[in-house]
Structure 1
């Protein structure tokens, strides 16, 4: 039976149903309520990252009781009073943990999560990024069939209770303060910005949940909202969203129902990143792309706003918003640089970012199979392609992709290919990943695509095509395996044309699978900007912005180069600069583990774009260290000759080791403008860019 989790009325633009009932996985929501009572273990405990994280978390007050490293049995070599056990089952029996933090490489993460599920650990926190998507589909199939374990992540900063001093993840601890605002976020860096703004305004946090940026999240916005509604320490709620999927719209639907049933609802505020994305691109996070029929950041913004949510354009504004909502007297700013940020009026619906049209292409960061290879995969399965010209009005869309809401693979059917109508007419048909091909799917697809035709040939043809798409999806670890189909006249055969096949590049990068497919990738300048390809080799996501709609040339007014760590923060930086009158020449995400060398490589990319007249470095560090970033900037100045080039650099460093990073920059004597607050830094960027434009 297909059931929704939270509302009897389906979203008109999204999945019409939920795959699983409340009897199983949803009953684990209570496991998210961590605190001083929570006993925590680490998987991969003796590794460098886990050891360093455990030391920090213990010092902060987290009750770390030990961990697991396969083949080890004894005491931790550094944390000598904490035991190391060979399996999670051993740890559950001897240490009785309430939660586990998984600190292993992406290619080992799914197996580590599976081991924790089998051992029935109540809360599993996975921080690794680039876990192959089909590995996670297998994990979610397991999760939905049980009622003991709850997953946070993957590709998430984790979960933290500021009141209970319990951290399972890598959040920057100095930013947090105990209080009564609950936060749920897709973006790690934007969640840190949110926390820092609250703390600076004298507003503490209760429970902060990192939903994470992967396509399928173990815990999403609606899950967190269900917890926050009844969480006694949570008096106000913040949602940090971005492009991709339907999580924000589903949160808006939940909030509307909540406000109807609750006489005194808790105040809710939100931000949505990705208003100014480049059509057809993945913006850093594995899940930060707009699929067929999905809505833009503008649509998500409107949905939340219509539900009564207070919308802001940058997390720095959350402090004042929540101080007012909770009637907290705001703290005095700690420095002149922060006062501008705290006094600045936040933006609501009367002042939204300028928007680009909704993308009509699918993502370009994963591997797109060449059309000739897609055709071969179909013909090998008995599906011929037509080269007949088909009128747009006769075309329909059939694909198999991933329904993020159901955390499962799903057929996607749409009775039109008109980009303007995809969102309103697309329908998802999710199924259990582990159960295999849903043999009864053909009739449901025909009903939606063709209005319930009774032609046996059409029914059989659609079923045969659906099975072929499923086979390709499973065999090659697809993200989107789709075709256009047509039925020109009564009695005609089903026509299949224009295949678009996208497979998961993490299956190769992390799992070393499907090398033969990835060898087919078109890396010619016509298919991929050479600068973007160079960035990819260094683990940087770099996307040029400002291309003219009618040509391959770029607008010269897009002259601010941005260098940011974290996809959500990078998207929001581009949005916020536009609100303040500036134009970012690029999106650049160094990733959560940026190094000095990464910063230098990023500067090289920015300076190769002749439009760039000022560089904005906006770093909020968790794993990224502020002093390391500062030294990377100085290295770039020396080795790239930035002083001679006359390109000023505006830097804002917050988070881990921020004071040392700011000191290094201020004492450098170079053409660097160092700021603590975002608004001051952004305003300076816009000012310098305008001055350069006048010259």
Structure 2
């Protein structure tokens, strides 16, 4: 019976026409899942020949100077239409010439988001082994197209986008914008979604004396070119890596996939390398984007707390704050039969060797991130009433299917299209129930190629999971038509998630229940490339919290947390660090009134605006400023806080400031000597305890 009904659906599916790019292959050595073969391209070091795309740009020039001083083997770069020399190195007009003349092993793509997708594709076509993209706000559908291309070849590996990049302190090779003074050569491998949390982690490992062998930034976007499992494979094979650290966060299945790998690794290896991990977003509100474009959980995805437990059960040692990694890793190395003192001595000698060989002072820090990096991705979510209009356009060819105003009945089904982050592709997501209690457990994803669209087999599998065996023929055909309509709208309007509940009426036709509509779109497509203006003009800012809209204008991500008992305002630089600050305060007995990410570089203006936003909440009794000075000097951050503090009516609220990272001692002294109602701390635990003490006493 099921086969007969599905044959009716097949008739409603159009034949897929090949496009000019649908079968484009960039490598002659292609196998299924050949992209996995490129994972060892991540093993960078002194041997790695690095070029820059966008070489003569201001940010790329500054970054290249610092990386050269660090010891990175930069051999030249590319700027379209220009040829000659730059920074004393060859400058070429295109990647084809660069590949032939410079023979690069890696490229640092320092190109703004609107052109970055094309720059990455050029690098894939040129078969550059490692491609590192740092830009934020590359449109999601551009990334899915690139991911589709990457799967057809076995030459190039992508790191990013929206990532700090990759750095091998033990090999003096930096491809990205990592704060160099924080790193030290050593033997701990680190992979992280969050830039600021990775810097905190690195600082803890450096302070412990262990140092780092290789650090890989996944990036905070919805889809990452390199994920946690890819990093684990490299760390396992790397003889210089003695211990491993993973830093995850809310959103996606990367941490669950990593847990599966860890479980298998510990079973097949007699002396596995110790693995420690952290997951940010344990107390993040549901259905909210927490700073990073990818920091949200789709239906059927695990919460941060669940991922924490899954990693712990797989054998990873979990920590609640990154400053604990150094001490934890020392203990784990000793327990695994490795000698942490020997590792520390080896790391120290390598560090001395680096300074002796380079004969250069530590380079001055410069802001080395693309200007778009100071913006933040919120995503656009349309209300069911507003979203129904655009959807009706795609449904008009489906005879008998109607949008109704009623909420879904108990026997409704769920159907949608979203992102499969593990497969780096769009997917059809269906469930035999629309019940909120059961949906997360019963939804299944059916990934398909972004360029080609879903195959007939994929659509039939998605429908079969809905268990529509008893459905009338008309309803079966309508489900197939609806799925195709959603996949067309998904691609043409650059959506992130489109989903709804459907049921079958007394006449055997499908009904789509408007109140159930979830329509989320990629705002990077509009911000970076001015695409989808018609969709983004539907945004209803008047229905959003005024503070959150106002913060957005200043490049700040502000999320008001609803707990009526919360009384600690937070001001943090970096989305991952902001999430972890909220989490860690809870573990110290405090509750945050807000999530606030000033961006990767806090300035006096952003700090001033942040104070103003926080102080509008009458619940706030004390403000906790938690800043990690990665790319930014700690002294400059402290001066900015003082300036902002003096210009804002603080309403008598005390402020606790924790500054870590570059020139942290200078920043802490400036705060301590200010004579203002400020207290400076170095460690998170002592700062958090003081914040909670004040909050509970006022």
What is the TM-score when the length of structure 2 is the normalising length?
Answer: 0.87
Q: Distance in 2 between matches of 1:417 and 1:103?
A: 44
Instruction: Choose between structure 1 and 2: higher helix proportion.
Output: 2
**1:680 maps to 2:698:** no
Deviation, structure 1 residue 22:
5.7
Q: CA deviation at 1:233?
A: 0.8
> What pairs up with 1:580-591 in 2 under 5 angstroms?
580-591=588-599
Contact 1:214 1:285 (C-alpha < 8 Å) held by counterparts: yes
Q: Tell me which residue corresponds to 1:350.
A: none
Tell me by how many angstroms 1:390 deviates.
Answer: 5.9
Counterparts of 1:6-155 in structure 2, within 5 Å, are 23-76=33-86, 79=87, 81-155=88-162
Tell me what 1:379 maps to.
392
Moved more, 531-540 or 444-453: 444-453
Tell me the residue number matched to 1:263: 270
User: Could you tell me how far 1:417 is from its partner in structure 2?
Assistant: 1.9
SS of 1:413's equivalent in the other structure is strand
> Which of 648, 652, 655 in structure 1 is aligned with 2:654?
648
Q: Is the 8 A contact 1:442 1:459 kept in 2?
A: no
Query: What is the Cα deviation at residue 378 of structure 1?
Result: 3.1
How far apart, in 2, do the equivalents of 1:95 and 1:428 lie? 43
- The Cα RMSD (Å) is 2.0
Which residue of structure 2 aligns with residue 522 of structure 1? 540
For 2:693 and 2:53, the matched residues in 1 are separated by 49
* 1:435-455 deviations in Å (ceiling 9; x for gaps): 134234332122100254575
Aligned to 1:171: 178
Match of 1:540 among 556, 572, 586: 556
> Matched residues in 1 for 2:64 and 2:618: separation?
45
Are positions 1:426 and 2:426 aligned together? no
The number of residues matched between the two structures is 627
State the partner residue of 2:673.
667
Post-superposition Cα deviations, 1:374-411, rounded to whole Å, max 9, x if no partner, equal 32333323254343746642111100111101000111
Structure 2 distance, partners of 1:386, 1:60, is 61
Partner of 1:476: 493
SS in structure 2 at match of 1:500: strand
2:212 match? 205
Structure 2 residue 224 is matched with structure 1 residue 214: no
Extract unaligned runs of 5+ from structure 1: 1-19, 333-363, 548-554
Does structure 2 retain, via aligned residues, the 8 Å contact 1:443–1:459? no
1:447 corresponds, among 459, 464, 478, to 464
Q: Residue by residue, what CA displacement relative to the aligned partner does 1:102-121 show, whole Å, maximum 9, x if unpaired?
A: 11211121111111111111
Matching of residue 572 in structure 1 with residue 588 in structure 2: no
- State the match for 2:512 in structure 1: 496
Q: Which residue of 2 aligns with 1:291?
A: 298
The residue matched to 1:443 in structure 2 has which SS? Answer: helix
Q: How far apart are the structure 1 equivalents of 2:155 and 2:314?
A: 33
In the alignment, which of 501, 512, 526 is matched to residue 530 of structure 2?
512
Q: Distance in 2 between matches of 1:623 and 1:586?
A: 25
Matches within 5 A, 1:341-360: none
Q: Aligned equivalents of 2:630 and 2:225: distance in 1?
A: 21
Contact 2:408 2:502 (C-alpha < 8 Å) held by counterparts: no
CA drift of 1:97 comes to: 1.2
Bigger drift between 55-64 and 403-412 goes to: 55-64
Q: Would you say the 8 A contact 2:77–2:91 is kept in 1? A: yes
- How many angstroms does 1:331 deviate by? 8.4
1:579–1:372 CA distance, 2 compared to 1 (3 A):
closer
Secondary structure, counterpart of 1:163 in structure 2: helix
1:302 to 281, 303, 309: 309
Flag the 1:622–1:71 CA change in 2: closer, same or farther, 3 A: farther
Matched-pair contact (CA < 8 Å) for 2:51–2:74: yes
CA distance in structure 1 between the partners assigned to 2:530 and 2:658 by the alignment = 38
> CA offset at residue 250 of structure 1?
0.8
